[in-house]
Amino acid sequence: MLGAEIERLRSLDGIKWTKEADDVLPAWVADMDFESPPAVKAAMQAVIDRGDFGYNLVTRDQLVTTWGDWQEQHFGWRPPEDECKVFTATLNTLSMTLEMMTEPGDGVVLFTPIYHPFRAITEESGRRIVDVPLDGPDWHLDAERFESIIDDNTKIVLFCNPHNPLGRVFDQDELAGFVDVCLRHDLLVIADEIWCDLTHEPKHLPLAHHFPAIAERSVTLGSASKSFSLAGLRTSVAHLGDPRVRAAFDALPGHFVGAPNTLGAEATHAAWTQCQPWLDQVKQQLTANRDHLLARIASDLPGVTMHTPEATYLAWMDFVDTSIATDPAEAILERGRVSLHAGSKFSPAWASHVRLNFATSPAILDQIIDRIASTL
């Protein structure tokens, strides 16, 4: 099943399958069990076969154009190439932008529960978290609540679109309300859009494309890492739409910002130019897994609820009406031998939740669900 066989997975050195004991099934980190596309491996193998390990910038220098081609083909948006830059990782871009465009004590908006490195980066940089909670079960983005919580020292928004861990694809009306608040309060938006390809029903709406007024106050992060299982190859692209951000990056010393290595660039280029059929197959399997998980929750996990994710391969599950509500992730690890991300990592208010990665084979997914059921 797309390489998600238990024997292959147990042979890997990646953190997902080595962090816990051998009897634990991992479903925590956002890393697919599916093997990367054959064309990606062939592109990297060609570099190895040539022994082409010198200062090779050819493919790296094509990535902005390649990303633009991909965005235009799928979402009708072609970010201006002179406003884009290649980076090693999306969090690298986010962290540097936060450091350059804010001061310690400035407010940073997080729509919680949120991808936990956003919290860590904000806290470690000495900035102040402005927590704007999203409410279940539909996790709607409420612009009035957003505006009521921010203050005069709020400077920036870390915006996950589609949302991790909720799997929301925010609709046109939600985004319009959000953009209106950002414009009126002169907020800079860092839009993490790396999940854009992995939608199930509604199509992803690039913020800078559908709302041109916010493009000049935004940074959009892009990568092939989630869509094509390439996270360890450390390659990303960003549209630096805000001229203040572009100027800040341009003012840095020439070698201050890192760049992808040759293999990361080759893999990303191959993914965006040759691997659409593979992605189509993966998306079909992810939607089937999502629907199967929902059915099994309804039939076999009493007291557990889950909003249907519109994007990603992540399930946000609530155990508040079960006997393990206090710390479900810990109980499931100890008694069920399944490793999940605790909801408290995404915000302290969500301790009864877990995040489950369902990007695996149906057989492994059923084992995970069976073990959770036995824990309950």
Q: Which two tokens stand for residue 75?
A: 């979402």
Query: What pLDDT score was predicted for residue 80?
Result: 98
Query: What pLDDT score was predicted for residue 258?
Result: 84
Q: Does 300 have pLDDT greater than 90?
A: yes
Q: Does 105 have pLDDT greater than 90?
A: yes
Query: What pLDDT score was predicted for residue 254?
Result: 81
Q: Which two tokens stand for residue 178?
A: 């959000």
Query: What pLDDT score was predicted for residue 150?
Result: 98
SS3 268: helix
From residue 127, give the alpha-carbon distance in Å to each of 111, 221, 349.
Answer: 16, 21, 20
Mean pLDDT score, 135-163: 96
Beta-bridged to residue 236, according to DSSP, are 87
Q: Does 35 have pLDDT greater than 90?
A: yes
Tell me how far apart the alpha carbons of residues 16 and 25 are, in angstroms, rounded to a whole number. 9
Q: Name the DSSP class of 313.
A: S
Q: Does 182 have pLDDT greater than 80?
A: yes
Tell me how far apart the alpha carbons of residues 57 and 248 are, in angstroms, rounded to a whole number. 24
Mean pLDDT taken over the chain:
97
pTM of the model: 0.96
Q: Which two tokens stand for residue 288?
A: 């089937």
DSSP string, 143-156: HHHHHHH--TTEEE
User: Which domains occur in the chain, in start order?
Assistant: 6-36+276-375 (3.90.1150.10), 46-274 (3.40.640.10)
Tell me how far apart the alpha carbons of residues 154 and 132 are, in angstroms, rounded to a whole number. 12
Q: Does 201 have pLDDT greater than 90?
A: no
Pairing of strands 188-192, 218-222: parallel
Distance of alpha carbon 344 from the chain centroid: 18
Angle of helix 362-375 versus helix 276-300 axis, rounded to 10:
30
Query: What pLDDT score was predicted for residue 46?
Result: 97
Tell me how far apart the alpha carbons of residues 316 and 310 are, in angstroms, rounded to a whole number. 12
Produce one character per residue of 60-75: b if its CB has 16 or more CB atoms within 10 Å, e if not: bebbbebbbebbeeeb
Mean pLDDT score, 134-150: 95
Query: What pLDDT score was predicted for residue 97?
Result: 98
Mean pLDDT score, 334-344: 98
Q: Does 1 have pLDDT greater than 80?
A: no
Pairing of strands 84-87, 341-342: unpaired
8 A C-beta contact, residue 284 and residue 34: no
Question: Long-range contacts for 241-246 (Cβ within 8 Å, ≥24 apart)?
Answer: 241/79, 241/83, 241/208, 241/215, 241/216, 241/217, 242/188, 242/216, 242/217, 242/218, 243/216, 244/101, 244/188, 245/97, 245/100, 245/101, 245/188, 245/219, 246/83
Question: Which residues have C-beta within 8 Å of that of residue 235, sequence separation ≥ 6?
Answer: 63, 86, 88, 89, 223, 224, 225, 260, 264, 265, 267, 268
136 pLDDT tier (thresholds 50, 70, 90): confident
From residue 281, give the alpha-carbon distance in Å to each of 242, 278, 286.
Answer: 36, 5, 9
∠ CA 306-311-316, rounded to 5°: 25
DSSP string, 253-265: -TTSS----HHHH
Query: What pLDDT score was predicted for residue 270?
Result: 98
Question: Long-range contacts for 370-375 (Cβ within 8 Å, ≥24 apart)?
Answer: 370/300, 371/25, 371/332, 371/336, 371/337, 371/338, 372/301, 372/304, 372/332, 372/336, 372/338, 373/300, 373/301, 374/335, 374/336, 375/324, 375/331, 375/332, 375/335, 375/336, 375/338
Q: Token pair 């599916």 is at which residue?
A: 34
For the beta carbon of residue 262, count every other beta carbon within 10 angstroms. Answer: 18
Tell me how far apart the alpha carbons of residues 292 and 301 are, in angstroms, rounded to a whole number. 13
